[in-house]
């Protein structure tokens, strides 16, 4: 990892329409200047879920550049070299990923798919808000890690632990 550029982080999901998109937006805000976030999917839906865009817009995120794209885009020559790759859905974690140039550190940070939520509009919006909260907590922990002082094994353990963190539980739900 070099100090002359932001660290590149790729969030993967199957459809790249909700969770990975939300994670990309969060890390680009929370890690501004230190991290540059991207997202992709193994089988991209081709459009970002409107409920994800709606939530991010309500939280004052710039959503103009967000798009659903294939992970092949980031394995191609000339693509940004990734420092970290995180899967945020269980399906993507079990798929055979492309070989990423630069051998990035990776971990699985699975969260439930809000796009599969059933119920009325309020229940669906709550599912997206929960996904945002979980990813925001995990990304906040990640961006706070003392990366320069951790050796590779220690860092890998921390990344894996973030995916299992109980920081996803809010005080009201504990």
Distance CA 121, CA 127 (A): 10
Rg, Å, the chain Cα set: 15
Catalytic residue, candidates 55, 82, 89, 105: 89
Instruction: Give the active site residue among 97, 117, 129, 150.
Output: 97
Asked if 6 contacts 34 with a C-beta cutoff of 8 angstroms, the reply is: yes
Query: What is the sign of the dihedral through the CA atoms of 137, 143, 148 and 153?
Result: positive
Choose, from 7, 10, 13, 88, the residue flagged as catalytic: 13
2 is catalytic: no
- φ, ψ (nearest 5 deg) of residue 18: -140, -80
- Is 97 in the active site? yes
89 is catalytic: yes
Catalogue the active-site residues.
Answer: 13, 89, 97
């Amino acid at each position: 990892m070099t100090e002359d550029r932001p660290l590149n982080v790729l969030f993967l999901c199957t459809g790249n329409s909700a969770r990975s998109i939300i994670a990309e937006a969060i890390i680009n805000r929370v890690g501004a200047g230190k991290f540059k976030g991207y997202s992709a999917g193994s089988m991209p839906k081709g459009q970002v879920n409107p409920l994800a865009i709606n939530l991010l817009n309500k939280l004052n995120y710039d959503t103009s550049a967000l798009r659903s794209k294939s992970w092949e885009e980031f394995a191609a020559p000339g693509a940004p070299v990734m420092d970290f790759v995180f899967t945020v859905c269980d399906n993507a974690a079990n798929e055979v990923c492309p070989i990423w140039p630069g051998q990035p550190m990776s971990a699985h940070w699975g969260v439930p798919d809000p796009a599969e939520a059933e119920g009325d509009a309020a229940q669906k919006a709550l599912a997206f808000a929960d996904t945002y909260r979980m990813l925001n907590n995990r990304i906040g922990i990640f961006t706070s890690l003392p990366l320069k002082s951790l050796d590779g094994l220690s860092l890998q353990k921390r990344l894996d632990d973030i995916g299992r963190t109980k920081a996803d539980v809010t005080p009201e739900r504990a």
